[in-house]
Amino acid sequence: MPDVFAGRFELLDPIGVGGAGTVWRAWDRRQERLCAAKVLRQRDAGALLRFVREQGRRLDHPNVLSPYGWAADDDMALLAMDLVGGGSVDNLVADFGPLPPRLAAELLSQLLGALDKIHTAGVLHRDVKPANLLLETTGTERPMLRLSDFGIAIAMGEPRLTVHGTVVGTPGYLAPEVLAGAAPSPRQDLYAAGVTAWQLLTGAEPPERGSLPTRPSDATDPIWDVVTDLTRADPATRPESAAEALAALAPSLAEPLVVPAHTPDGEVIEVFDHLPEQAPERRKGGRRTAVVVAAAVMVAVVGGGSAAVLAVFDPLGESPLPPGTSASPLGTGVSETATPASSATRSADPQIRAGQPCGWQVAGSVEKAADGTRVECRQQGSSYLWVKTN
């Protein structure tokens, strides 16, 4: 791995490892700031296609974390995005348990605002879950949520990269119609947002299959009405849009958010910095590597054969690709979950083994380990490890 990627990004220290690549804390020489750099090992055409798809999702919204630039160097590709250090909503619930309804409503409102933005732009996320909701390091102040990981997102009406019968997403957050093979729709993202809100309020993980447990008898806050509507089995009975759901959430937001918020036991809820305390000192200059990729040839499997897709782009580009191109992430809470109804489709990754450390940025990722078993990146105390799931 070069110290300086494509002559622009100084890779300082790895902060997360996933099956498709590594997330680095990096210094962007052009913009003169720290960033998160997701470096992809171009092992297969599907991952590269999804990578291009993600880099094309440039959405300007305070609650959306999308790439602001990218680069290619030798056989690697890199996505640059804001460095977000407060962990994820998944971490927050793991640390503090059920959140107060007003704080949960605040986070849900930010998530719905982000979904309203991307849906209005014609984009479906398809993997909304707490691990993909990153948090700025705000301490005990008002939290700031960032919807991340657009690797399996698609434009409405855009051809899917998966074969017939493949389910894309994360078990537990999939709307019932997804499992039945329905075409992607905004209401599926809203269902996942409702499951996420349920998790914020209960502190429990949703069942991978079947309905959520019924609303607790003592749950009187109006946010529960929104959760119930968002998670209805029939998509036609869910809110039509994120904006509609946000309007329904208004009663839960009527009272000002009091900070610091407290758990039922009186513990102060804090979004603290999850990144290592100090990155290695940035090099003065560093080795400059030549950019050798001015065009990428991506091979996509279509039916039983293959089709070469040629995408020509500026290797240090900061503008979206033309419509119809696509992408994949590789780190920040990635799941890249493309699970057929009967068996997994991912090949084993020789670099991943159960018990090895992973990073909070890939918490929730499910991969196939070197021995063929499925492993998930989970928080174990103060660390994150690959844990066997089968």
Residue tagged active-site, from 73, 90, 116, 127: 127
Which of 2-6, 39-43, 178-182, 267-271 shows the lowest mean pLDDT across its residues?
39-43
DSSP label of 253: G
Percent of the chain with pLDDT over 90: 48
Q: Assess whether 273 carries a catalytic annotation.
A: no
Which of 83-92, 222-231, 346-355 shows the lowest mean pLDDT across its residues?
346-355
| C-beta of residue 168 within 8 angstroms of C-beta of residue 126 | yes
For 4-83+289-388, which CATH class?
A: alpha beta
Write the CB contacts of 319 (distance below 8 Å, at least 6 apart in sequence). 58
Q: Identify the sign of the CA torsion 167, 321, 332, 347.
A: positive
Give residue 174's pLDDT band: very low, low, confident or very high (50, 70, 90).
very high
51/34 Cα distance (integer angstroms): 21
The residue ranking higher by pLDDT, 109 or 283, is 109
235/307 Cα distance (integer angstroms): 35
DSSP label of 251: G
Which of 174-178, 223-227, 303-307 shows the lowest mean pLDDT across its residues?
303-307
**Domain locations in the chain as residue ranges:** 4-83+289-388, 89-253
In the predicted model, is pLDDT for residue 25 greater than 90? yes
Query: DSSP letters along 89-121, please?
Result: HHHHHHHH-SPPHHHHHHHHHHHHHHHHHHHHT
Give the predicted TM-score (pTM) of the model. Answer: 0.71
Torsion angles phi and psi, residue 266, rounded to 5: 90, 5
292/270 Cα distance (integer angstroms): 45
Highest mean pLDDT among 174-188, 282-296, 351-365: 174-188
Q: Which CATH number fits domain 89-253: 1.10.510.10, 2.130.10.10, 3.40.50.300, 3.90.550.10?
A: 1.10.510.10
